[in-house]
Amino acid sequence: MKKIYKTANDALDGLLQDGMTIAAGGFGLCGIPELLIQAIHDNGAKDLTFASNNAGVDGFGLGILLESRQVKKMISSYVGENAEFMRQYLSGELELEFAPQGTLAERMRSAGCGIPGFYTKTGVGTVIAEGKEHKEFNGETFILEEGIFADLSIVKAWKADETGNLVFRKTARNFNPPAAMCGKICIAEVEEIVPTGSLDPDSIHLPGIYVHRLIQGEHEKRIEQRTVSAA
């Protein structure tokens, strides 16, 4: 099956619709699918729900979709770097579902494995647990968290082969693999596509069976918070 597309717009062709749920990889601005996010912006699809660790920053990443009012709801762990996010949330324009970081990753991974829910201690006794089923195991209380089954996954990897096997670099490996797993369709943007068979099988982080479409592109790799020592 042909998986390689020329551009992000080509790869998204026929997939976007209003009201869909999209899982997006990345950690801060590391490993975000910036080309696909820009293409979603250009498409104009609206009332979108995004499951992503964070919401980008003002003017970059998912921040551009917030500015264009294309996002209806965020399922996130950390949203502290985006002033527009804060403004929309506090004014009631944006829905927010907070999820602890590990819980969010596991909700994606579980869905990718066909598991509709799991019990965790994380969040017990906090607002995270409100309205969720509680159950005791070995005398301890756990809450039920549901898997995130997305309509579409968009992720960023370092390398791919022509069948979609992916290799991630460092922090980009945090959320991209589980985000890729939980979508009905997964699109990966990568820095390099190599011939099938040229990747070391033991170095592949996500098998190509999860990846349906691929693009290769140039990436800005912006730094979210630059910290330098005094001269």
Of the pLDDT bands very low, low, confident and very high (cuts 50, 70, 90), residue 81 is confident
Q: What is the pTM of this model?
A: 0.93
Residue with tokens 């017990």: 124
225 inside domain: no
89 inside domain: yes
pLDDT for res 134: 98
| pLDDT tops 80 at residue 59 | yes
105 inside domain: yes
175 inside domain: yes
191 inside domain: yes
Task: Give whole-number Cα distances, 183 to 13, 106, 169, 178, 186, in Å.
Answer: 16, 14, 21, 9, 6
Buried b / exposed e along 116-151 (16+ C-beta atoms within 10 A): eebebebbeeeebbeebeeeeeeeeebbebebbbbb
What's the total number of domains in the chain? 1
CB 17 within 8 A of CB 40: no
230 inside domain: no
Q: At residue 29, what is the residue type?
A: L
What is the rounded distance in angstroms from the CA atom of residue 157 to the CA atom of residue 33? 8
Look up residue 19 and give its two tokens: 């009201």
Look up residue 223 and give its two tokens: 């730094």
Q: What is the tens place of the pLDDT at every residue in 6-32?
A: 999 999 999 999 999 999 999 989 999
21 inside domain: yes
What number is the average pLDDT over the span 70-98? Answer: 92
What number is the average pLDDT over the span 54-66? Answer: 93
Q: What is the tens place of the pLDDT at every residue in 117-128?
A: 999 999 999 999
Q: Which residues contact 101 (CB under 8 A, 6 or more apart)?
A: 53, 77, 78
pLDDT for res 33: 97
| CATH code of the domain covering residue 112 | 3.40.1080.10
221 inside domain: no
Exposed, middle or buried, 185 (CB in 10 Å: 0-12/13-18/19+)?
Answer: middle
| Residue span of the structural domain in which 158 resides | 8-216
192 phi and psi angles, rounded to 5 deg: -150, 135
What number is the average pLDDT over the span 111-134? Answer: 97
